[in-house]
A and B are shown apart, each in its own frame.
Chain A
Amino acid sequence: EAGVTQFPSHSVIEKGQTVTLRCDPISGHDNLYWYRRVMGKEIKFLLHFVKESKQDESGMPNNRFLAERTGGTYSTLKVQPAELEDSGVYFCASSQVDGPYEQYFGPGTRLTVT
């Protein structure tokens, strides 16, 4: 079974530019989560999709971040315009069942904003 995949693995952009991160969850997993880890700190929740619907987006930092999951399959996270403090590792995770169960993580996208 293929795991969660993320693209790109690394992205370096200048402040003010736009970047789009992509996540492909494990096939059949309705639940998709985005997280971010900044500068060696904790992994922080950003948002949770159930199929194509946003279940919880309380962790999104501000309106420069837009997440979509059209068709309930892969998801994209767009940052526009990027700021220096957006640098970090963005993780995607998926799970088959909503609730207190294992979430399977992707390898992450390391975003550097210069």
Chain B
Amino acid sequence: GENVEQHPSTLSVQEGDSAVIKCTYSDSASNYFPWYKQELGKRPQLIIDIRSNVGEKKDQRIAVTLNKTAKHFSLHITETQPEDSAVYFCAAYGAGGTSYGKLTFGQGTILTVHP
């Protein structure tokens, strides 16, 4: 089945700095890669996603890059703000084998942005 590894587990930055979270996946058939943000006490919410036929996607201060050959994808947050503090989860959607039709998540990254 699919295995998603996410790093780092914790990330602390100063307001205004950039933050990068990286994920690797094992199943080359995976074709959809969402990123969820979970603020303290709230539900996970999709912030950006990318499909396997695209290498990069950007939405204001956040961007995601995908390297299918290396099987890794990354979340980039620029000009971080205290409200970006949250747990971020990457995930991969399986398109074949035992991972078919499932989202497999990484372990999560606790991002803290210091004012």
Rounded to whole angstroms, the CA-CA distance of A33 and B103 in the bound complex is 10
Cβ–Cβ contact B49 & A102, under 8 A: yes
Q: Which residues of A sit under 8 angstroms from B102, Cβ to Cβ?
A: 45, 48, 56, 58-59
> Which residues between 99 and 114 of chain A lie within 8 Å of chain B, taking CB atoms?
99-108
**B-binding residues in A (CB < 8 A):** 3-4, 33, 35, 40-45, 48, 55-56, 58-59, 91, 98-108
**A-binding residues in B (CB < 8 A):** 4, 6, 31-32, 34, 36, 42-46, 49, 51, 89, 91, 93, 95, 98, 101-108
Cβ–Cβ contact B44 & A102, under 8 A: no
Q: Which residues of A sit under 8 angstroms from B98, Cβ to Cβ?
A: 58
A43 to chain B, nearest CB (A): 4
Q: Which residues of B sit under 8 angstroms from A58, Cβ to Cβ?
A: 98, 102
Subset of 23 A-B contacts with CB under 8 Å: A4-B43, A33-B103, A40-B107, A40-B108, A41-B107, A42-B6, A42-B105, A42-B106, A43-B91, A44-B105, A45-B104, A48-B101, A56-B101, A56-B102, A99-B101, A100-B95, A102-B34, A102-B46, A102-B49, A105-B36, A105-B43, A107-B42, A108-B43
Rounded to whole angstroms, the CA-CA distance of A55 and B101 in the bound complex is 9
Rounded to whole angstroms, the CA-CA distance of A90 and B98 in the bound complex is 22
Cβ–Cβ contact B105 & A106, under 8 A: no
Q: A48-B101, A58-B98, A98-B101 are in contact. Are A43 and B43 (CB under 8 A)?
A: no
Instruction: Please give me the residue from chain B that is nearest to A55 by CB atom.
Output: B101
Q: Which residues of A sit under 8 angstroms from B91, Cβ to Cβ?
A: 43
Q: A91-B44, A100-B51 are in contact. Are A42 and B101 (CB under 8 A)?
A: no
Cβ–Cβ contact A100 & B107, under 8 A: no
Cβ–Cβ contact A45 & B103, under 8 A: yes
List 7 additional contacts besides A35-B105, A43-B91, A102-B49; criterion CB under 8 Å. Answer: A42-B4, A45-B102, A45-B104, A48-B101, A56-B102, A100-B31, A103-B46
Q: Which residues of A sit under 8 angstroms from B43, Cβ to Cβ?
A: 3-4, 91, 105-108
10 smallest A-B Cβ distances: which pairs?
A100-B32, A43-B105, A100-B93, A107-B43, A105-B44, A42-B105, A42-B107, A105-B43, A45-B102, A102-B46
